[in-house]
Amino acid sequence: MPKIPLVDVRAQYAPLIPELQQAFADVLDQGQFVFGPNVAAFELEAAAYLGVPETIGVGNGTDALVLVMDAMGIGPGDEVICPAFTFFATAEAIARRGATPVFAEIDPSTCNLDPEDVAGRITSRTRAIMPVHLFGRPARLDDLAALGLPLIEDAAQAFGSADIAGHGVASTFSFYPTKNLFALGDGGLVGVRDPELAERIRMLRFHGSKAKKMFEYVGYNSRLDEIQAAALRIFLRHLDEWTRLRREAAARYRELGLGDLVEVPDDEPGHVYHLFVCRSPQRDAICSALAERGISTATYYEPPLHLQPALAYLDYGLDSLPVTEQLARDNFSVPIWAGIDADTQEQVVDAVREAMTVSVS
């Protein structure tokens, strides 16, 4: 076990264990484990929180993307533009639908899709743009929406940001246990405005069926279960406080001078700091030095998606997305979670400072 983990999920839910136990006991008493009252209530509470008319609980964030594209009729012959600097699931979902992921460059200062580059990749086959609110920072939705194509927001890492959900045709979320709003296992959600699209997604998540025994589409089995929904309802009530604590931790890294040593993310009001991702040409030396001191770091999306073996058929090749490739080479994240304390953060910054001194001298 590292002395300082990258994220301490247990520290976040530990004070809520008695409340969770009671909620789980209630589910056990009731004996309804799928499509129960907690899922129905969570869907309403999440919709109110996100400011969208409807949300649909699903099995995970990957399925959420697949279901939305299926409901939109996106499939073979269609193109969907997305970043190559994101978790594999973003492009995987497009390919899973038999459509073609088209990778666009990112803006290095935000790590999110660069709308100008996206514009240059639109063809007659483009059916949608899939921005990712990476690391918890909202993508430039207004500029992307101005391109005139439907937006499917991959908001897996950004639940809690006021600046997402609603601009797009749909927003998808993952409740993987390290996410800002998390389940105690897998879970996902789709937020939608159009009631017809919502209805189709709702049916697709249960084998394309509205009423038992009648199957109108070939669908999936991808449901949020009752135990996870019971936990999510409790966690949703704490999310704003957790976001406040994450923002406080981000501000503290800046106050401690981390930005004098490495490039740190800009202070942006909509950022919910799922991760605190820095950049440095000495990235590898810093990460090894921190590991020696028992401090966890992580690096992201190297190789980026256009260079992943599973997507080699798309024929991108090295140097085809230079901004993305450079970011993949020099990024690293430092520990952050809701409630990380000042002393822990100081140890992290001291370790980075020492690593830089050693690697420069």
222 touching ligand PLP, by CB under 6 A: no
Q: How far is CA 56 from the centre of its chain?
A: 17
Report the side by side order of strands in the sheet with 79-83: 100-104, 79-83, 126-129
Smallest distance, ligand PLP to C-beta of residue 95, A:
13
Taking the least distance from each CB to ligand PLP, the nearer of 170 and 261 is 170
Interacting positions 283-322 with ligand PLP (CB under 6 A): none
Smallest distance, ligand PLP to C-beta of residue 171, A:
12
176 touching ligand PLP, by CB under 6 A: yes
Residues 6+ apart with CB under 8 A from 164: 133, 138, 141, 153, 155, 158, 171, 270
- Binding pattern for the stretch 77-116 against ligand PLP, x by CB under 6 A and - elsewhere: ---------xx-xx--------------------------
d(CA 263, CA 265): 7
| Phi, psi dihedral angles at 59 (to 5 degrees) | -70, -35
154 touching ligand PLP, by CB under 6 A: yes
DSSP-derived pairing of the beta strands 54-58 and 79-83 = unpaired
Taking the least distance from each CB to ligand PLP, the nearer of 335 and 355 is 335
333 touching ligand PLP, by CB under 6 A: no
245 touching ligand PLP, by CB under 6 A: no
62 touching ligand PLP, by CB under 6 A: yes
174 touching ligand PLP, by CB under 6 A: yes
Q: How would you class 233 by CB atoms within 10 Å of its CB: exposed for 0-12, middle for 13-18, buried for 19 or more?
A: middle
d(CA 170, CA 172): 7
Taking the least distance from each CB to ligand PLP, the nearer of 12 and 90 is 90
Residue 136 near residue 87, CB atoms below 8 Å: no
67 touching ligand PLP, by CB under 6 A: no
Residues of this chain that bind ligand PLP (CB under 6 A): 60-62, 86-87, 89-90, 132, 154, 156-157, 174, 176, 186, 188
